[in-house]
């Protein structure tokens, strides 16, 4: 079983829709959580960190559920420019290693 698992998608949604992605992690020692965005043939870029209490940045909301060991990303009012792969990233305490999920592909359709 992979340490970080994501549904690869693709998720095809119309403009304006709300879409949610989940990511599960297997190691309970995981300490830090992030969502990165990667456009086709480009490098990953940080979208947002995920805080224990949940956090919001404009149309994007991230949640962490430590008991069930998953994090989620909610995108409201999807834009065409949101089309990308969304990577879930987890870091365990006591290590410098970041574990990336395989990514979830999102396509926002006009």
State the residues that interact with other proteins by CB under 8 A: 4, 8, 32, 34, 42-46, 49, 51, 87, 89, 91, 95-103
Six token digits for residue 41: 């043939």
- Name which of 76 and 91 has its Cβ closer to other proteins: 91
What sign does the CA torsion over 91, 105, 51, 27 have?
A: negative
Task: Output the smallest distance, CB 82 to other proteins, in A.
Answer: 19
Task: Output the smallest distance, CB 28 to other proteins, in A.
Answer: 19
Task: Output the smallest distance, CB 78 to other proteins, in A.
Answer: 22
- Name which of 96 and 110 has its Cβ closer to other proteins: 96
- Name which of 53 and 110 has its Cβ closer to other proteins: 53
CA 57 vs CA 35, 94, 98, 104: distances in Å = 12, 29, 23, 19
Six token digits for residue 109: 């359709």
Q: How many C-beta atoms surround the C-beta of residue 87 within 10 A? A: 22
């Amino acid at each position: 079983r992979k340490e970080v698992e994501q549904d690869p998608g693709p998720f095809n949604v119309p403009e304006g829709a709300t879409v949610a992605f989940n990511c599960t992690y297997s190691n309970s020692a995981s300490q830090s959580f992030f969502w990165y965005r990667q456009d086709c043939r480009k490098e990953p870029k940080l979208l947002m960190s995920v805080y224990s209490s949940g956090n919001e940045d404009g149309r994007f909301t991230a949640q962490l559920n430590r008991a069930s060991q998953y994090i989620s990303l909610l995108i409201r009012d999807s834009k065409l420019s949101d089309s990308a792969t969304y990577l879930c990233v987890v870091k365990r305490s006591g290590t410098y290693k970041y574990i990336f999920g395989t990514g979830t592909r999102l396509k926002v359709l006009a």
